[in-house]
Amino acid sequence: MRNKIIIVGLLLTFSSCGIFIVADTSSKQTTYVKEVAEVDSTQKFIGTYDLTAYGIPGLGDIDYQMVVSKNENVFSTSFIEDTITTMEILSTTVDEGILFIDIYVPEYGLNTVFEIYVDGNKVSGYLADQFELEGTISR
């Protein structure tokens, strides 16, 4: 009986010491890191645009030509003056994959925006959130 108690005591002692053993597997693992080049998703907006705005009240369909460029992190837009109305460009920004060009039309005292989506060389969007735009971009 005494031998059984000693054996059980030793068994419990050795098994309880086993919980303090920590397996070190970090030296056996290899981590591979792949470098990913940063892609500038705004580059697709840079180029010369040929746009048509459809259904402008009193004017009908209007064709626009404009150039969007980027200097460091600042976009700029210039219209090629073949349009019926003159526009002042207030700002050009890209937000969530959409090109926004804020303009002021002095003839009407109107602040509005071009909202432009680019897919390849096809361009779509809206002028003043209500007139549909379509066209192309060349780079």
The 10s digit of each residue's pLDDT in 25-72 is 555 666 777 776 666 778 899 999 999 999 988 888 989 899 999 998
Residue 26 domain-assigned (yes or no): no
Full domain range(s) for residue 92: 41-138
Does 21 reside within a domain? no
Digit-coded pLDDT (tens) for 18-27: 555 665 555 5
CB 133 within 8 A of CB 122: no
Buried b (16+ CB within 10 A) or exposed e, 81-95: eeeeeebeeeebebe
Token pair, residue 29, equals: 């693992």
Q: Are 109 and 102 in contact (CB under 8 A)?
A: no
Residue 36 lies in a domain: no
What CATH number did the domain enclosing 84 receive? 2.40.128.120
Q: Among the residues of the chain, which ranges form H helices?
A: 2-17
pLDDT digits (tens, 9 = 90+) for 79-96: 887 666 678 899 999 999
User: Domain total for the chain?
Assistant: 1
User: In the chain, what percentage of residues exceed pLDDT 90?
Assistant: 44
For residue 87, tell me if it sits in a domain.
yes
Q: Tell me if 92 is assigned to some domain.
A: yes
